[in-house]
Structure formats: C-alpha cells, structure tokens
Structure 1
C-alpha cells in the first residue's frame, strides 16, 4: 500500500509539474506575399497572452510559449492577420501574409518575367518601395518618382514644369539610360529611351511595389541599362471580393477621386478587378500649369487548374497638362518664381501656348505554366498604342503683353487677344495667315503602335543549380507629324514653307483638339499635316540566359544576352532635307555579359561582387542626320555604346538593424549626345557629340533600425559620387530647322569636367512613430549637394577657342523636409484611412536643374490630404 501511495504521489506530482512547466519553442519566417520577400517588423504573439516577438530583417522569429498547445497571431499594418495553431515545439516554416483590403491582395503577376532581386540568391544593390508607401506618400499632386527619392543615388528633379514633367536620375544617369519595366514589359521610349511620366501618372494608384536595382541589377532581359533597372509591379486581379473609394484634395484646387472593385475568384477560377479615377487642378505650382486626367485599370484572372494561371491587364492614364519651361535666373528675379511665359489670357480665360496631351493604353496577357516540379514557363504578350503630342507656336506673330504696352509682373505673358486681332488684320483676302505675319497653335504629334513578347523558362535541376533561358522580341512603329489646333481668327494657314511638293497657295484649315481622348481616333490626314510627316519602324529580337549555383553560404551566377535591332525611316514630305521615301534599313547587334558571387559569412554578415560589360545599340533618334527631315544616316555611322560596370557590397542584418553598403564604378564609352541650342532668327540648333566617355563611381549606404515592439523606426541613406567626363570629344553643330547639317564642328577636351543635372552627394534620414492606436506620424529630411549644371556647350566651345579649361558650374546645395500623418479607424465593420502630407515643409527655395536653355526652380511647399473607405 505504501508503495502504491508513493507511486501515485510521484505520478500526480510529475503530471502537475509537466502542466505547470510545459513550454514550447516556436520558430518561423514571415513572408510578404506581395513581393515574396521576408517581412521585417511583423508582430507575432501567442494568442490570449502578451508574450510575443517582432520578426527580424530576414522575417524570422522565435518565441518560447508557456504551454504545449495554442495559437499564434501574426499581424502587420496593411496586411491581413493570420492565426496559426501549434502543438509542442513547432517550426512553422514560411508564413505568408497577403495584403488586406487596405492595399489590395495580388493573385497573378507573371512572376517568371518580373526580374525581382529575390529571384536570384546572388545579391545586387537594390531598394524596394512597397505599395502601401506609394499610396501614402506619392499619390495625387505628387510625381510618381517621389516614391523613390529616399533611396541611395536616386534624384527626382520634380521641376515646376507641370504635372508629369519630372525627371529621375539613377547614379547620375537620366531615365534614357535606366531600364523601366512594368510587369516585365519595357516601357522606355524605343526611339529615344525617354520616360514621359505624364503618360504613366496612374502608376501611383496601380503600382503594388517598385524595386530599384542600381547598376548591374538582376534583370535577365536582353536590355543593357547603364544606370540600373526599375521594376514596377502593378496590381492585377484580386482574390477576394471588395474594394475601396478614396477622395483626395491638395493645394491649388487639386482634386482626385478613385474607385476600385474586385469580384473575387468564383468557383470556376475567374476573377475581375477594375480601378478608375479622375483628377484635376488649376495649376501644379507655377502659373499656367493646369492639368486634368483619368486613370483606369481592368484586370481579368483565370486559373483553370493548379499548373496554369492567366491574367489579362489593360491600363492607361489619359491626361493633359499645361507646361512651364526653364528660364534664366533674371527672369525669375523680375517676374517671380511662379512666372510662366508660355501662358497668358484668351477671351478672359487662362490660356497656354504649351500643352502636353497623351493617351497610352497598355495591355498585357500573362501566362504562368508550372510544367512540372522544377520547370516553370512564364510568358507575357503585350501591346501599347500611344496617341497625342505637345502644342506650340506656328509662325512669327507671337505678341506678349510688353509688345502692346502692358508692363509689370505679367509683361512676359502672351497676349492671345492681341494675336487674334493681328491675325485678322494681316490675313489675306481669303482670311488665311502665313508664317511671317501670323500666329497659330499647332501640335507636334507622336502616334505609335508597339507590340512585344517576353518568355522565360526557369529550370531547377537540383537543390543547388537553377537555369533561365528566354526570348525578348518587340516591334514598334511611330508616326510623327504636325497639325493645327487653334487659328485665332484665321480661316487657315498657307503652307508654303519647307514642303516642295505643295504649291505656294496650299492651305490647311482643319483643327484638332489637344485632348487625350479625342486624339485616339481624330487626328490629321496627310493633306492636313504640315512641316513634318514621317514614320519610323524599329524591330528588336533578343535572347538571354542565366545559370546560378548556390549553397547555404555561397552563390555564383553568370548571365548573357545578345540582341539585334533594326531601324528604318519613311518620309512623306520632301522637306529641306530630302526626306521623301524610305531610308536604308540599318541593323545593329548588341550584347551583355555579367556575373557575380556572394558569400554568407554568418547569419548577420554577407558580401558580394558583380561585374558586367555591355554593347548597347544607339537610339533611333541618334542614327539619322536629321530625324525630322532626312532619311540620310549620320556620317560617320553611330556605333554601339560600350559600358563596363563593377560593384561590390556588404550586408548586415540582425533582429533590429539592417545596413547595406555598396561601391560601384561604371565606365560608359563611345556615347552619343545631342544638345539643343537656340540659333539666330528663332531657329533651333543641335550640337552632336560623338565618342563621349563618362566615369561614374561612388559609395552608397542605407540602414533601417527597428527596435523590437518599440512602435517607431529610423531609416537613412547616403550617396557619395564622383561622376565626370574623360577624354576628347568631337562635335558638330547643325541647324535643325533649315536642314543645314554642318554649321560648325570641332573637338572639345572634357577630361575631369563634372557631370551635371543630378547631385553627386546626397543624404537622407526618416522616421516613423506610432502615437496611439491607429495614429502614426512620419517625416523625411534630404540633403543634396555637388549638383552641377548641365554642360553649357557655348561656354565649352568658347573655352576651347580661348585655350582655357572649362569648369562645370556648381549649383547651390539645398535641403528638403517632408512630413505625413496617418490615422486608421473603422466605420462600422469597414476600415478607413486618413492621410495628410506636406512636401517641402519649410518652403525652401532652390534650383533643382539647369539644362541648355535655363534653370528649373524647385517646387515650394505643397500639400494633400485623403480619406479612403475600404469595403
């Protein structure tokens, strides 16, 4: 009996001790379902307790639970909350959090085409801006590029020029030399490589994320970008039914309304999403910069089975915006920083000479096919159709207020009423005007059709090896011409200037609206076009491949691509340059080879190095002697540009601190550059430089400190660059208006001349803090210095003639501060978000760029506020 009692006592005691002291070790990794990347700063709590942890920068967490069973709750602002059960020690593996209705949950994107840095284990210099940050900070009356400005070596020249007229520089290279991709589709202009951000104004609402890959990047496409690659990942079809309504307002009567609705996936695998909005303002910042536009996105997803997924997307952002151009500093001193001499009044209403209007619908069809385990094929078929242009003056009859005795701050504005009176007074017997006496408003049109196919096969042959092979093909044809917009009292225009095929009394009389919707189908036929009328055709075919070997601590990759591109021009007017008929077809072959390796020293420290060389085909605009009037190729023929890039990096990450450090050197040789200049008699000239060499080298860092469960975080970045020209550069000056292809020529010595238009040194710091439940504030402070003017060609030429060394002019350094407030609350069962932003908080006056024609002043203090209701 005593033995039994002893046994019973020990058994009960053991059971009580086990219950009292039972513990479970819980580990896992939280993944951002938006970008398939680790989600740092997510909260993980044992349900019903205050016991929890915050994920580190790799998304990892470890919790010791006081019981052997229960549930953990994983949450992160903007993402759906997930509850997962455990029983004893549990390794949850990867726990994916998807975006909640606040930011829309992605289901289909064509992941094999979009070259995200996470798809390759060997690192690159990369920064990712998530959709929630874009929505909060860079929407409404703010340029889309502002979302990227707190990134190393990114400079956004917002310019007081009008909605969508900003420029983005990456490591000192402008947007023509940075590859921009939308869901894997190249979107830089094929003729000149430019990014017209007004055509992409809807990206602030459509983008789910933006990944900036500086330098060599991880792109597998046959695209040789000098500055880097910017991947814009758009929203597509959503999994769940729901949507949102948002209203936003801002300075200078800015208003915007947005509606989004998702049907969710039905039992047959279909889902539909739609987003539409409208915006308008009487100006951006400067006088005469009114704008208006819409944005739409329609997406259809279909998943017939587990191995195949399809998604069709069409999006567009039709818009018009009035423009302000660069000016001498004396102009701003005399008439104020918001002055605009493109603008004036006509019949009592604000009116402008310069308006940009464009509509560029973009459609793509994605197919993701999981052929079998370790073998995936992603393909996208895409198309875009651009219609629109920019207005300007026709004829020499422009009249400003000062010309009719009106002086003061508005004396440089255009007097359109006086122009109309002069047109009527100087018209011929039939009421028609001419180039010498009259003034009309015309539009330079750029209509194009662009089709392409991208395909990438991903092969994982073993645990360590992955291979990619793919195809990149595009065809583009662009049609350029001029048409009449306003005649100001005239019946028509006598077009006897530069078109020998027309008689001296030929009259064009039809006018067409500067409207992005009507211009889709309503534009001038050949008989109503003037000055220029030509078509360009570009065909591009490339193939690429990549192999990567990786272990737990080491990875190495090699990548190559080859492409061929053809150019051809057909002119429909003889013009001053004899541009009638088709040119010869020119073919250029390009290639790229790059490779790299990384080593994981331990869980916190890693290093990497990459190198690459490119041979990049020239842009079409550089191939012909005069793109507007001549079919003749430039002599000597423009050759490929040669680029060599080297970079290395160090990464540190623990639970609370992330630090990235990168060094780089890019040599860009045999570059072709054209710079516009004003000539006598209001004519336009172009300097053409060949064999330009640029050296861009520097150091970058960024960090983020996120204390565990502290409710605040701190981040910062820095860029220190040394960008300069090297060697002798031959040049010619041509008159682009008369077709005189050689006004003068010579050779310039540019060694050690600093490269301008973007600051070579910049720093920034930002923080975010939770004030109370639902309420948070954030702020960013940026410093820009070592900003030089774009080369003043006239000064360079004069210095060479004088035997002097040209020195680039350094512009004043400046700082900018932005601040924001977010308040999240509920209305019934549905969440609402209020957001307010102030940009250039201290209203600092600064110069953010000088081009060949003058200075662009930065934008002063502006603001916006929005309210969003999710359902």
Structure 2
C-alpha cells in the first residue's frame, strides 16, 4: 500500500513539475488598442493568435493580455466591428499602442483635417467626451444629430419644437451661439447669430467617423474661438478598401431612410474615391404635421502624391424641407387637445396635402480642398481651403389671417373644431372674397419667404515643427462671409400681389408703393459682410508623464451692412466696424502613475460682438454700445484608468462678461415696425462639477454613468438699455434687474430666437451587454433637473413694475427618459449584415422639453405663469398663462437593416 501511495505521489509531482515547466515557458503579450482618429480605447476588440483559437478582448482602457508558448512565429490578428482588421508580427512581449482605423475612416496617409484639435486621453488637459462610428450607427438611426451627445456631462439637448433638424445643444449653460461646431476643422456656425443650425447638416451622422465634445476652452487653435465648448466632427474620407453599404430604415410616424455608399479603395497609382447618398422622409414623432424630406450627399477624391504629400477634396451637404411647430402653446392647451402632447397649432391642409404655417427649406453644401505635406520627420505643413453656399428660407404665414393660438376670438380658419388642422383653402377663399369686395388683388393673407442666403470662403493653414520635447504650431485663419437677407412673396392664396408701402424701416424707399407679386422681394432687403483675419500659435511640451501647452491667437473682425430698401443708391453701404479679439489659454496634464492623472487649464478670451447686435432697427444705424465680449475660465480635473474601471472628475468656473443682445418690443402704433432694445452688460457665471465613469464587471458587460451639477446665473444688473424707434430716435429705459437670476437663455432676441436653456443638473446611466457573440443589447437613461425656461430679460426692469429679486424663471419639472437598442450581426448571401433596432423614450414619459416666456409680468408666481389662475367670486380676475411650452417626443422606434458589400 505504501508503495502504491509513493508511486501515486511521484506521478502527481512529476505532472505538476511538467505543468509548471510549461507554464513557465508561457510568454504574456500585452498592448493597448486605440481608435486611430479619436485615440479612444477599443473596448471589446478581439485579439487572436493567427492559426489558433486562442483569443482575448480589450479592456476598458484598451489594454489586453494574451499568453503564448513562444514569441517566435506568432502573429496577432486584431479585429473590431466597423474597423479594418490588422495583423501584427510579434517581436516583443509588449507591442505597445496599436492604432486601428475605422472602415470608413480616411486612409492613414490622407489628412482631411488641417487643424486637428482632438483631445488625447491622459495627455490633453481639457474635459472631453468622444463617440465613434459604431456608437453613431447603433444609436443614431432615429435620433437628431445632437442627441448622440446627450450622455455627455454638462450637455443639454432638445428637439426644440421637434421639426426635422431643429434640435439644439447647450454646453455648460451656453447656448449654441457660444458653442463652436467644427467639421474636419472647418468652423460652420452661423456667422451672424453664432448659432448651430442642425438642419443645415441633417444626415451628417451618415458620414461621421468620430465626434468629440470638448467642454470649456477646448483644444482648438482656431483664431475666432467659442465661449462654452467645441463640437469637433471628423467625416469619412477615402475608405481603405473597396466596398460599399446599402441600408434601409423604417420607423414610427412614417419614417423611412434609404442609404447607399461606395468606395473604390486605393488604386496602385494613389487615387481613391468615396461617395454616399441618403434620403429621409416621414413625420416628426414630437408633433403632428411636422413632415419632412431630406437628402444627404457626400463625395471625396483623394490622391497620395509621392511619399510625403496628400491631397483630398471633399463635398458634402444636406438639402431638406420640413414643417415646423413655431407657436409655444400653453400647458392647458395640450391637456385639452385630443392629440395630447403631440398637438401642433401651426399645420393643416391645402388642396388635400399637408401644409404648415411655418416651413423651412435649406441647402448648404460644404466643399474643401485639404493638402498635407510631411516635409521631414519633425516638420509638416497642412492647408485647407473651403467654401459654403447656403440657400433657403423660413416660410411663414403672414398678413391678417387670424391667430394660431387655439380658442382665440380671431382664430385662423380650421377644418373642424378648435384643435383641428388649419384650413388653408378657407384662407384662400377669404382672400378671393376680399379681392372681389374691394376690387383689387391685394392679399390679406399670404406665405412669405424670409430668405437667408450666404456665401462663405476661408483658409486655415498650419505649420508644425518638433524640436526636442516641444512641438510648435503656428497658422492663419482667414474668413470672408456675405449674408443676403430679404423677404419674398411665396404663396398669395388666390390674390395677385402683396401691397408693400414704405414706412420707415419697412418697405422700399426706392419703390414706396410696390405691389409685390410671386417671387418678388418686399419688406426688407439687406446684406451683411463679415471679414476676419486671424493668426494663432501654440507650443506643446511633452516628456515622460508631463504634457503642457500654451496657445495664443488674435483676430480682427470687420462688419458692414448694405441696405437696398431703406437707402437710395450711393448711400446704401454702412461704414466698416472693426473689433479686435484674442485668446490666451494654457494647461498641463501630469500622469501620477499608470492609472491616475491630474490636469488644469486656464484661459482668457475677448471676442468681437456678433454682427446682428451691431446694427439697430433693421437699418444701418450703428449700435454704439456694443463692446467685445470677454470670458475668463479655469478648470481642474482628475482621471483614473484601469482595465476594469475608468473615471473622470472635473470642476470649472467661467465668467462671461459684456454679453450684448438686441431685443424687439411691439409697437402698438405700427406693428410692422417694432422698437429695438439694445442691452449691454449681461454678465454671467457658469460653474459646476462633472463626472463620468465606466465599469466592466465581467467580459461583455459595460456599465456607464455621468453626473453634472452646475450653477448658471447673472452676476449683476445691466446698465440702462437703449431703445430705438422706427424713425431712428433713441431713448433709454432703466437697468434690467437680472442679478441672481438663473440663466434660461434669452428669448425674443433679434440675434437669436427663443429656446430653453440648460438643465443645471444632469445624470445618466448606460448598460451594454453582449448576450451572444453577434448580439448586443443596450440601454440609456437620462435625467434632467433644475431646467429653467427661456425668458425675455428686457422686460424685467423697474419701468415694467419689477423690483429687485421679484422674478424667477420657471423651473421645468424634472424628467427622466430611457432608450433601448439591439444590434444583431449576421451573414446574408455571403455579405456582412446587421439589424439595428432602437426604441426611444421606451417608458413613454410625457415631459416638457422647452418652455418660453416672452412677456414676464410682475406680481405672478411661476405656477400662475405656467398654469394661469381662475377668477373668484370676490371679483378677482383670472390670470392667463404667460409661459408657452413644447413637449418631448413620446415613445417611437426605428429599425435599420444594413448590408455591406
């Protein structure tokens, strides 16, 4: 027995020794996988030993660890959905950082962004969040483009009435006129109001390969900076391999979208091309009568010139027409309407077809030529020449047609009861009857196009030089813009003309009794010219664990207005108005160890006021009170990165001073010639704390979360406001009593229409689960709190009966919404295919998405202003509501089938 036990012991010991020797012989290969464009980790990417079934996946920080018996002859195959597979012959146990290109990303050798400013994790000292093409594909089929950024801390997104492309985004309490949108490094904000009009780029997600939201000062070096943040979008260029995609989406409310793309791949002589076209149609889920049809187009031709030079030509844009919801109705209206929260007072039928009292159509192609030259190992030069040509209009019902507010005594004709669609044929019948009665063809109601055409050209050229541990960058940013603005007759509803009589700032002094027929200009006709010349320089130091940068830039902005209606020929040009702007910002990031890093940045910006606030009363009268706007910002941040858990926390404080805005006020004598109130000295504070995190408890499961707690408020009352009448006379009104008020954005402004502000507290959570190798489920939950309505601050003064601290903006009720998605990848006739299903607002939560108060009145509580109050038997008069609202979209879905060939 003892001999048997001894033999068994020797056998087990020998086996353990042999196993230990084999284990000792194992080599652990490590590395990190990052997106080649965004430098974000490729969570879940597969690393396979070629010729075997041995594989692992990348962790939250992109790192991986794989054991092999020997390095000799070992080749790793790296693959990730939507990315180009990559093979690496292993020569060292640590292969370092591997950059993997998206399938539809530009070729590594072709540069499409002449002013790259993307944040690199644990290196660039700014707060930023990125999403790649896979995220966009899986979440964007039924979403407006800004909604892809809604899980970013400090960001508030709303469909703003729900029309196609009418969504908006606020960052850290700054509305879109203080948020820069860059497409391949090209600034594309509206030059006059500074706003982002997303309907100009409806369908942009079809060609986007990466998108990064930089909060605060950001990393951009452009000479005319933003105040609140930067959205940096990189589009596809020339695909690395030949192939294409066909996809079809079908969803709620008649939504359909068809897309086709094709890429030639790189030819032996260095040429390549890529094309995409899509068409979307349907009705908005947010409100009835918001029909839309949109086209998105993209083309790229690239050429590799020798070993060191590349040329890339891009042409992209979106053409669309859609119905809108422009009227803010009261909460009680939605409660009483059979349609509930989807009620729209502004649409109806004309000749049996859907028709809207507010429509929008626009097309804004963007063309660019990108040249890059790697002069030597330490020096490169890149230049981008670009142009945009915007044509389109907002098409409004005008004249004496009645009120769009349901239940009004002079309500517009409708097909049925109070909440039924507008009867545009009845409007036409009234026109014809009036023409017969008075014996002329003048229209009493008509559709007018408020046309906003523009041409913009620019050049951004940058030279980059590395000397030791310091990289120097310098360049120029040149822009030339012309915006044409006029109104023209669109639909006369059976009449012959619109009578356009010159009265001050309305009509044509050169044709004072014009009878404007279809397509003719009337009311106003003017042009803005805005020219800016800027230069910038940056030095970035990077050694070991420390990275630091300093950026300086300066610009001159020249503004001119040309008025063809209010002045006779030879007197139509205003003088040029010039403003100097500059920025100085710097920051540093220090990696404490392999997991922890800290960073800080600080900066000061002086920016020219927007051209829309420089001229008063729709003529060439110059606003002498306009001064440059200033911003001072600083921020501290901390990051933690590991294979299973990543987190970022940052705190910021931003002082925004000398903001100017021009507001309109009604003129009871001549409604067509309102007063204009010039407000200067709007001083704001934006401060808060932001955090986001991801956790992977087990392989295939990723939890995410974010939290933002902000405080955005006015720090002082303004100075006296200047009021300009139609005849050019000026008076003053007392200071606006806004000190301490929460910022809810400024409605009724000439330089920007009403929209809600920012939710000052946002929170969210995400869950992604790979239930099978080819099936992924996802969920997103988003929560908004301390979300204040937009209001018109020009009313809040002693002249209107207010006392200091009496008014507070309406706090929109807290809301939480949840979205779900499923992705199923499979083979169809030998081709790669995927089915994507998205359900938005899956719990069908009813919530107010925007609120606006145009005429604040003293002595009323927020509850009275939102809901009104009934009269009493003691003789108390009822108080009507003064706050109009829009509701968010109810539950809706979108399904997409995509085939790659």
Local SS of the residue matching 1:369 = strand
Q: CA distance change for structure 1 residues 289 and 743 in 2, over 3 Å: closer, same or farther?
A: farther
Deviates more, 1:333-342 or 1:346-355: 333-342
Q: CA deviation at 1:686?
A: 4.6
Q: CA deviation at 1:72?
A: 2.6
CA contact (8 A) 1:106 1:236 kept: no
Q: CA deviation at 1:426?
A: 1.8
Query: 1: distance between equivalents of 2:371 and 2:485?
Result: 34
- Structure 2 residue aligned with 1:7: none
Matched, 1:654 2:642: yes
Which stretches in structure 1 are left out of the alignment for 5+ residues?
Answer: 1-13, 512-527
Q: CA distance change for structure 1 residues 406 and 619 in 2, over 3 Å: closer, same or farther?
A: closer
> What TM-score do you get using the length of structure 2 for normalisation?
0.87
Q: CA distance change for structure 1 residues 85 and 245 in 2, over 3 Å: closer, same or farther?
A: same
Q: CA distance change for structure 1 residues 499 and 171 in 2, over 3 Å: closer, same or farther?
A: same
Q: CA deviation at 1:108?
A: 3.0
Deviations 1:232-277 (A, max 9, x none): 1111111211010000011111111000000111111100110001
CA contact (8 A) 1:244 1:260 kept: yes
Query: 1: distance between equivalents of 2:192 and 2:628?
Result: 15
CA contact (8 A) 1:432 1:492 kept: no
Q: CA deviation at 1:849?
A: 1.8
Q: CA deviation at 1:392?
A: 1.1
Query: 2: distance between equivalents of 1:112 and 1:357?
Result: 31
Query: 1: distance between equivalents of 2:274 and 2:416?
Result: 53
- Structure 2 residue aligned with 1:364: 368
- Structure 2 residue aligned with 1:451: 457
- Structure 1 residue aligned with 2:565: 573
Deviates more, 1:613-622 or 1:804-813: 804-813
Q: CA distance change for structure 1 residues 776 and 19 in 2, over 3 Å: closer, same or farther?
A: closer
Matched, 1:320 2:321: yes
Q: 1:529 aligns with which of 518, 521, 530?
A: 521
- Structure 2 residue aligned with 1:222: 223
> What TM-score do you get using the length of structure 1 for normalisation?
0.90
- Structure 1 residue aligned with 2:88: 84
Q: CA distance change for structure 1 residues 371 and 865 in 2, over 3 Å: closer, same or farther?
A: same
- Structure 1 residue aligned with 2:189: 188
- Structure 1 residue aligned with 2:49: 46
Query: 2: distance between equivalents of 1:760 and 1:365?
Result: 41
Q: CA distance change for structure 1 residues 812 and 36 in 2, over 3 Å: closer, same or farther?
A: closer
- Structure 1 residue aligned with 2:422: 414
- Structure 2 residue aligned with 1:99: 102
Q: CA distance change for structure 1 residues 582 and 504 in 2, over 3 Å: closer, same or farther?
A: closer
Q: CA deviation at 1:788?
A: 1.1
Matched, 1:699 2:699: no
Q: 2:507 aligns with which of 475, 482, 499?
A: 499
Matched, 1:355 2:359: yes
Query: 1: distance between equivalents of 2:665 and 2:342?
Result: 24
- Structure 1 residue aligned with 2:574: 583
Local SS of the residue matching 1:318 = strand
CA contact (8 A) 1:308 1:368 kept: yes
- Structure 2 residue aligned with 1:563: 555
Deviations 1:62-89 (A, max 9, x none): 33322343333323232233333336x5
- Structure 2 residue aligned with 1:133: 135
Q: CA deviation at 1:406?
A: 6.0
Query: 1: distance between equivalents of 2:802 and 2:47?
Result: 71
- Structure 1 residue aligned with 2:863: none
Query: 2: distance between equivalents of 1:348 and 1:569?
Result: 43
Superposition map of 1:639-788 within 5 A: 639-676=627-664, 680=668, 684=674, 686-707=676-697, 710-730=699-719, 732=721, 734=723, 738=726, 742=730, 745-756=733-744, 757-788=757-788
Matched, 1:55 2:58: yes
Matched, 1:75 2:79: yes
- Structure 2 residue aligned with 1:544: 536
Q: How many pairs are equivalent? A: 830
- Structure 2 residue aligned with 1:617: 608
Deviations 1:376-409 (A, max 9, x none): 1111000000001111133224477975886965
Q: CA deviation at 1:578?
A: 12
Local SS of the residue matching 2:278 = strand
Query: 1: distance between equivalents of 2:239 and 2:49?
Result: 30
Superposition map of 1:503-518 within 5 A: 505-511=513-519
Deviates more, 1:587-596 or 1:158-167: 158-167
- Structure 2 residue aligned with 1:514: none
Deviations 1:504-532 (A, max 9, x none): 65322233xxxxxxxxxxxxxxxx21111
Deviates more, 1:109-118 or 1:42-51: 42-51
CA contact (8 A) 2:768 2:777 kept: yes
CA contact (8 A) 2:40 2:130 kept: no
Query: 2: distance between equivalents of 1:836 and 1:731?
Result: 55
Q: CA deviation at 1:160?
A: 3.2
Q: CA deviation at 1:605?
A: 0.5
Superposition map of 1:136-535 within 5 A: 136-139=138-141, 141-325=142-326, 326-335=328-337, 336-398=340-402, 410-411=418-419, 413-427=421-435, 432-434=440-442, 438-462=444-468, 464-497=469-502, 498-499=506-507, 501-502=509-510, 505-511=513-519, 528-535=520-527
CA contact (8 A) 2:216 2:633 kept: yes
Deviates more, 1:292-301 or 1:493-502: 493-502
Query: 2: distance between equivalents of 1:313 and 1:340?
Result: 39
Deviates more, 1:790-799 or 1:528-537: 790-799
Q: CA distance change for structure 1 residues 318 and 407 in 2, over 3 Å: closer, same or farther?
A: closer
CA contact (8 A) 1:749 1:800 kept: no
Deviations 1:174-231 (A, max 9, x none): 1100111000000001111011111110211011111111001111111221111110
CA contact (8 A) 1:748 1:800 kept: no
Deviations 1:719-752 (A, max 9, x none): 000111011213547578x466657621123222
Query: 1: distance between equivalents of 2:83 and 2:419?
Result: 55
Q: CA distance change for structure 1 residues 136 and 38 in 2, over 3 Å: closer, same or farther?
A: closer
CA contact (8 A) 2:765 2:782 kept: yes
Q: CA deviation at 1:789?
A: 1.7
Deviates more, 1:443-452 or 1:839-848: 839-848
- Structure 1 residue aligned with 2:840: 839
- Structure 1 residue aligned with 2:829: 828
Q: 2:892 aligns with which of 845, 848, 862?
A: 862
Q: CA deviation at 1:415?
A: 2.7
CA contact (8 A) 1:670 1:693 kept: yes
Deviates more, 1:329-338 or 1:20-29: 20-29
Local SS of the residue matching 2:621 = coil
CA contact (8 A) 1:824 1:834 kept: yes
CA contact (8 A) 1:456 1:469 kept: yes
Query: 1: distance between equivalents of 2:781 and 2:384?
Result: 40
Q: CA distance change for structure 1 residues 549 and 391 in 2, over 3 Å: closer, same or farther?
A: same
Query: 2: distance between equivalents of 1:676 and 1:333?
Result: 31
- Structure 1 residue aligned with 2:583: 592
Query: 2: distance between equivalents of 1:556 and 1:428?
Result: 76
Local SS of the residue matching 2:782 = strand
CA contact (8 A) 2:762 2:784 kept: yes
Q: CA deviation at 1:503?
A: 5.2
Q: CA RMSD in A?
A: 2.7
Q: CA deviation at 1:419?
A: 1.6
Local SS of the residue matching 1:217 = coil
CA contact (8 A) 2:736 2:795 kept: no
Q: CA distance change for structure 1 residues 857 and 285 in 2, over 3 Å: closer, same or farther?
A: closer
Query: 2: distance between equivalents of 1:794 and 1:218?
Result: 35
Deviations 1:37-80 (A, max 9, x none): 54343232434556544334443333332234333332323223
Local SS of the residue matching 2:151 = coil
CA contact (8 A) 2:114 2:384 kept: no
